[in-house]
Amino acid sequence: SLATALTSVSLAQDLQGKVIGFSQIGSESGWRAAETSVTKQQAADRGIDLKFADAQQKQENQIKAIRGFIAQGVDAIMVAPVVATGWDDVLTEAKEAEIPVILLDRGVDAPEDLYLTSVASDQVKEGRVAGEWLVAEIGDADCKVVELQGTVGSTPAINRKQGFEEAIAGHDNITIARSQTGDFTRSKGKEVMEGFIKAENGGAYICAVYAHNDDMAVGAIQAIKDAGLKPGTDIKVVSIDAVPDIFAAMAAGEANATVELTPNMAGPAFDALSAYLADGTAPEKFIITESKLYTPADNPQGEYDTRKGLGY
């Protein structure tokens, strides 16, 4: 419609020509690669000059990149903080340089006045939704769970663990027998799951694997198959992100549940920045994205096809 066309035109104008630095963690997962491609597309659509820095999972590289953006005098900085702590100094430097900072998809343990807004999911809710699915699926049968944690010290790893534990509390038949970080990657998820299987009688004692992201779940699925067991039936698989490959696994009967995480954090971030730079409008401090459960009942092939076109 004309209104939509005008809105999109005005949106493009607001940030046209703005220089925005983006300190991205890396490309540890399919979800993160999608977040990067969606962010670059959003920036191009809005005429933003995006300065992109990949930190290869290292906080010191993120801090260096942010200092570089400050020295360049960018109009704004976006950062996906790999871990929650250690940001106070560099965020204070950005504040002193009067450059607004927006956090994407992870949080920081730092004073809230050091960033304009944080665009992320409710990660405790994601863990709770995953746990509630398992409670409903298992009923009162005994169920030994193994957990593949995200990056140590990251807010998703801390929060998703907390949410899952809240959901299974009071259901003594469901216990977390082993829990270790797979650092959000397929290869580490596979390697850690191989260790869990060896330690649990070839996997015979394991009822379910809860992975903090789909990439580690896909790695775990491979380890389960290598051990001669059936993922999705012998060992239930529940994870978070809703990337295309988890829907492919569901369509093959090898995964049971995922909690959606949109890769489009940049859209809300740019909208908030646009209003702030235009007239100082302060956005919500926390912009929370949706967390929807998907199971094989939700047309996994269709979900795969849809997401394949979304920048994954």
Q: Which is nearer to ligand GZL, 158 or 207 (CB)?
A: 158
Helix axes 214-226, 244-251, angle to 10 degrees: 40
**Any contact of residue 184 with ligand GZL (CB under 6 A)?**
yes
Q: Which of 20, 7, 5 is nearest to 266 (CA)?
A: 20
Binding residue (CB under 6 A) for ligand GZL from 21, 100, 107, 156: 156
Residues 144 and 200 sit within 8 Å (Cβ to Cβ): yes
DSSP sequence for 159-198: HHHHHHHHHHTT-TTEEEEEEEE-TT-HHHHHHHHHHHHH
Binding residue (CB under 6 A) for ligand GZL from 138, 261, 266, 273: 261
- The window from 29-37, 91-99, 172-180, 222-230 that contacts ligand GZL (CB under 6 A) reads 29-37
**Any contact of residue 31 with ligand GZL (CB under 6 A)?**
yes
Taking CB atoms within 8 Å and a gap of at least 24, the contacts of 296-300 are: 296/250, 296/251, 296/253, 296/255, 296/256, 300/247, 300/248, 300/250, 300/251
Q: Between 44 and 83, how does the x/- string for binding to ligand GZL read (CB under 6 A)?
A: ----------------------------------------
Q: Which is nearer to ligand GZL, 135 or 261 (CB)?
A: 261
Binding residue (CB under 6 A) for ligand GZL from 18, 46, 106, 188: 106
- The window from 11-19, 26-34, 61-69, 229-237 that contacts ligand GZL (CB under 6 A) reads 26-34
Task: Give CA separation, 89 vs 18, 136, 153, in Å.
Answer: 25, 45, 18
Q: Which residues pair with 174 in a beta bridge?
A: 143
Helix axes 214-226, 30-45, angle to 10 degrees: 150
**Any contact of residue 186 with ligand GZL (CB under 6 A)?**
no
**Any contact of residue 32 with ligand GZL (CB under 6 A)?**
yes
Q: Which is nearer to ligand GZL, 75 or 303 (CB)?
A: 303
Size of the residue set binding ligand GZL (CB under 6 A): 15
Q: What is the separation, in whole angstroms, between the first and last Cα of the chain?
A: 29
Minimum CB–partner distance for residue 14 and ligand GZL (Å): 26
Binding positions for ligand GZL, rule: CB under 6 A? 28-29, 31-32, 105-106, 120-121, 156, 184, 213, 215, 240-241, 261
